[in-house]
């Protein structure tokens, strides 16, 4: 649907992608730190990890909330079909996110060992389960889900847990773990920093193996994506950028440039989501086995007027948000220093 020279539907496809990519880049490291949490052993180390993300995790999570809200407003049929279809999976995701959130706030408020242990497990399990379920959801979107002629989900909860989706779930945990480890490197010093440097290698290997298997599985078993790649060979340039970004991470870590490693990790996410988006476009949810029922940017969208209003909101809101978010990260720059206000 064209409005003047603007294809609002395509623009919103991109913006939704931007919101969820932003979420991955930011809350991805919060969830990653959570996934690593139980590998640290001492109370002080665990407090440092919590305080590395402490001031910023809540603002980071808002990217998910806003992404969900934008999806509701721009593509209500996707929001309705996916959220009701993936019902139990989303309930589990919500419970995981709740535990992650409250564990951060509650954990250090009492001195008892059993209390801290309980919330450490809640924080870590919540982070890992959230990452996993987000990956499972992405995997289902890519693989395709059965959609009937009314546009409703026609599968079951268990049908969502097929091998490809589980693979994406594990890959997402691996990706966030790596991302979180790099962020933790930036925020820590001393023995914990050295310990993390050692773990980064294992995180990277874990991710790279998952990434390789996922890439092969996608090319072999997800025909609509493979076909898109075959028809548009220029997409290989993005895949290449993706691989270079991954390769750059160990290089920067080795040189002690933690920040550049983090930016590379962000670039990995950006290029992965970019590839995902370009391989899906204009579909938002692929219908498998009946591709004609796929939800795309036209049949799932709200009215042009709404898309236009939303674009104005985004045009005003996003730059303001980015500006103060950058300032707030700047205020909290540097290594974690525990004081009486810390978690």
Partner 1 sequence: MDVLLLSRIQFALTSGFHYLYPPLSIGLGLVLVIIEGLWLKNRNPLYHQMARFWTRVFALTFAIGVATGIVLEFEFGTNWATYSRYVGDVFGSALAAEGIFAFFLESGFLAVLLFGWNRVSPKVHFLATCMVCLGAHFSAIWIVVANSWMQTPAGFHIVGEGLRARAEITDFWQMVFNPSSMDRLLHVLCGAWQAGAFLVVSVSAWYLLKNRHEAFARASLRVGLVVGMAASLLQLVSGHSSGVGVARNQPAKLAAFEGLYDTTAHAPLTLFGWVDEKTETVKGEVAIPGLLSYLVHKDASKPIEGLRDFKPEDRPPVNVSFQLYHIMVAVGFGMIVVAGLGFLYFWQGSLFEKRWLLWLLALSVLGPQIANEAGWFAAEVGRQPWIVYGLLRTPAGLSAVVKADAVLTAIVLFSLVYLLLFAVFVYLLNDKIQHGPEAADLTPSGKMGMRPGKS
Nearest approach, Cβ of residue 152 and partner 1 (Å): 5
**Rounded alpha-carbon distances, angstroms, from residue 289 to 224, 263, 282, 284, 286:** 12, 39, 18, 16, 9
Residue listed under structure tokens 């790649």: 229
Q: Which stretch binds partner 1 (CB under 8 A): 177-185, 249-257, 286-294, 332-340?
A: 332-340
List of E strands, the chain: 2-3, 6-7, 283-285, 295-296
Residues in CB range of 265: below 8 A, 6 or more apart: 178, 179, 182, 245, 249
User: Is the Cβ of residue 205 or residue 326 nearer to partner 1 in the bound state?
Assistant: 326
- Min separation Cβ 230 and partner 1, Å: 34
- Per CB under 8 A, which of residues 301..330 are in contact with partner 1? 302-303, 305-306, 309-310, 313-314, 317-318, 321, 324-325, 328
Structure tokens at 267: 């670039």
Candidates 236, 235, 265; CA nearest to 248 is 265
Q: Of 72, 199, 206, 281, which one interacts with partner 1 (CB under 8 A)?
A: 72
Regarding 282 and contact with partner 1 (CB under 8 A), the answer is no
Query: Rounded distance, CA 125 to CA 131, Å?
Result: 10
* Angle, vertex CA 273, rays to CA 271 and CA 277, nearest 5: 115
Contact set for partner 1, span 80-139 (CB under 8 A): 80-85, 87-88, 90-91, 94-95, 97-99, 101-102, 104-106, 109-110
CB atoms within 10 A of CB 110: 12
Site string for partner 1, 144-163 (x = CB under 8 A): ------x-xxx--x------
Helix (H, G, I), strand (E, B) or coil at 287: strand
Residues 42-71, one symbol each (x = binds partner 1 by CB under 8 A, - = not), give: ------------xxx-xx-xx-xxx-xxxx
Closer residue to partner 1 in complex, CB, 82/174:
82
* Residue keyed to tokens 């992965």: 272
Minimum CB separation of residue 117 from partner 1 in Å reads 15
Write out the H or E segment, with its range, that includes residue 60: helix 57-74
- What is the C-alpha end-to-end distance of the chain, expressed in Å? 50
Nearer to partner 1, 62 or 243 (CB): 62
Query: Applying CB under 8 A, which residues contact partner 1?
Result: 54-56, 58-59, 61-62, 64-66, 68-77, 79-85, 87-88, 90-91, 94-95, 97-99, 101-102, 104-106, 109-110, 150, 152-154, 157, 302-303, 305-306, 309-310, 313-314, 317-318, 321, 324-325, 328, 331-332, 339-342
């Amino acid at each position: 649907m064209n409005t003047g020279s603007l294809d609002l539907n395509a623009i919103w496809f991109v913006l939704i992608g931007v919101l969820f990519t932003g979420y991955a880049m930011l809350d991805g490291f919060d969830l990653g730190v959570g996934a690593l949490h139980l590998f640290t052993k001492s109370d002080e180390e665990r407090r440092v990890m919590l305080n590395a993300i402490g001031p910023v995790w809540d603002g980071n999570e808002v990217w998910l909330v806003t992404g969900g809200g934008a999806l509701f407003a721009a593509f209500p049929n996707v929001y309705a079909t996916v959220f009701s279809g993936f019902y139990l999976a989303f309930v589990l995701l919500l419970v995981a996110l709740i535990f992650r959130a409250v564990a951060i706030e509650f954990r250090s408020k009492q001195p008892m060992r059993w209390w801290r242990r309980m919330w450490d497990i809640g924080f870590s399990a919540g982070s890992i389960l959230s990452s996993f379920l987000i990956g499972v959801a992405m995997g289902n979107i890519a693989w395709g889900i059965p959609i009937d002629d009314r546009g409703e989900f026609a599968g079951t909860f268990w049908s969502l847990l097929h091998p490809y989706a589980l693979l994406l779930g594990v890959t997402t945990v691996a990706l966030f773990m790596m991302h979180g480890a790099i962020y933790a490197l930036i925020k820590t010093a001393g023995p914990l920093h050295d310990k993390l440097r050692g773990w980064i290698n294992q995180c990277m290997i874990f991710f790279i193996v998952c990434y390789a298997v996922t890439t092969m599985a996608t090319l072999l078993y997800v025909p609509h994506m493979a076909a898109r790649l075959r028809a548009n060979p220029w997409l290989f340039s993005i895949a290449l950028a993706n691989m270079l970004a991954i390769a750059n991470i160990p290089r920067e870590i080795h040189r002690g440039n933690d920040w550049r490693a983090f930016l590379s990790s962000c670039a990995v996410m950006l290029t992965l989501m970019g590839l995902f988006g370009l391989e899906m476009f204009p579909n938002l949810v692929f219908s498998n086995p009946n591709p004609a029922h796929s939800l795309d940017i036209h049949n799932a969208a709200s009215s042009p007027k709404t898309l236009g209003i939303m674009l104005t909101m985004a045009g005003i809101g996003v730059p303001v948000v980015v500006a103060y978010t950058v300032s707030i990260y700047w205020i909290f720059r540097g290594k974690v220093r525990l004081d009486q206000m810390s978690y």
